[in-house]
Amino acid sequence: MSKSSMMLSILWLLKSGRRITAKEIADSLEINIRTVYRYIDSLCASGVPIIADSGHNGGYSLLHDFTEAPLFFEIDEQKALNHAAIYAQESGYPYSEVLNRAISKLNRYTNETQQSLINRHTQGFDVIQPPADPSLEATLQTLEAAVAKGITLFMSYEKGHVNTISERNIDPYGLVHWKNRWYIVGYCHLRDEVRSFRVDRIINLKQTELTFNRPANFSVRSFFLKSLLPDSDAKDTFITVKIQAHPQVIKELSSHWSLWPAFIEGTETEAHFKLKKDIALFYLPYSLLPYGRAIQILEPKEVKEQMVTVIKNLLEHYQKI
């Protein structure tokens, strides 16, 4: 641990409010007691108001009116925080303004040389994503606050495929950012089950007077990922699709957002996917079209036939234009 990190650790120990001895600090940080004395002297020299009391109940403490401790970050840590801020903002993070204030505070503790170095690193780091919808910020903040406080929300939700609006109460368990979209996972009072909802389809959102406790050990991440995976018990509704291609194409297919959850096994030149039958027949062919002759559907036969049908329909469409 660096000197600055060690000094910050000592400062946090002193911030506990109780008097603490040099030996307790040394034991807590696993350092020599003489090193503690040196760091205490350095903190005092930097202007930190440390009180040293001698005697049986003596030790170190901070003045009660000392509320803001200086921050000590290594240059790599500052660089990483700046990069994380850039990534969060491009992803539509709902507290961008607060994040910018935090980064500004962080930069105040850097000298001119350090700031110049950080600027060089941030200027060479970009995240390009589709523009985030600023109108979602208030909704995301309401959802995040309700998750933290355990408040049930009343929600008006638009179903995308039928353009109808339904109303329900939900107990929000957590937010997920997936494929440039935000989702809220929670218990749906209308359906009496845990479900996920697209935030951009929420028309109206209001707090209720109801509260809830999230189930112990519930993982929003695990639930959401599981919803993307095929149900191994529903064998009648799933089929295995086998595709052969160049190793690079197989790698791309295996990491495709709509296929990687369904990947079950493969080799350098072959990949097997377990997909819902309707998805395999009506959506998969369109995902495979951009690869042209670079891929070959080995089985099942019905998927190959559907691929032929899709191509014929496209050919007829453009011949009529």
pLDDT in tens, 186-212: 999 999 999 999 999 999 999 999 999
My answer on whether 295 and 243 are in the same domain is yes
Chain centroid to CA 195: 19
pLDDT surpasses 60 at 314: yes
The answer to whether position 128 is within a domain reads no
Q: Residue 30 belongs to what domain range? A: 3-62
pLDDT at 243 over 90: yes
Give the residue from 62, 92, 113 where a domain finishes: 62
Residue 72 pLDDT level (bands cut at 50, 70, 90): low
Q: According to the model, what pLDDT value does residue 230 have?
A: 55
219 in a structural domain: yes
- The two counts, helices (H) then strands (E), for the chain are 12, 11
Number of domains composing the chain: 4
pLDDT tens digits for 171-181?
999 999 988 88
Alpha-helical (H) ranges within the chain are 3-14, 22-29, 33-45, 75-90, 96-108, 112-123, 137-149, 220-228, 247-255, 277-282, 284-288, 301-320
pLDDT on residue 125: 86
Q: Coil, strand or helix: which one is 155?
A: strand
Identify the band that residue 136 occupies on the pLDDT scale cut at 50, 70 and 90: very high
Q: What pLDDT does residue 71 have?
A: 54
Q: Which of 202, 227, 252 is the last residue of a domain?
A: 227
pLDDT (0 to 100) of residue 19: 87
Q: Residue 204 sits in a domain of what CATH number?
A: 2.30.30
Residue 69: inside a domain, yes or no? no
Residues 252 and 199 in one domain: no
pLDDT of residue 289: 92
pLDDT of residue 151: 97
- 206 and 185 co-located in one domain: yes
Look at 7-11, 204-208, 231-235, 271-275 and tell me which has the smallest mean pLDDT. 231-235
Are residues 218 and 149 part of one domain?
Answer: yes
Query: Are 153 and 194 part of one and the same domain?
Result: yes
pLDDT at 310 over 90: yes
Does residue 220 sit in the same domain as residue 242?
no
Least confident of 9-18, 152-161, 215-224, 300-309: 9-18
- Shared domain check, 89 and 57: no
Tell me the whole-structure pTM to 2 decimals.
0.64
Instruction: Indicate the DSSP class of residue 213.
Output: -
The mean of the pLDDT values for the chain is 87
DSSP 129-143: -SPP-GGGHHHHHHH
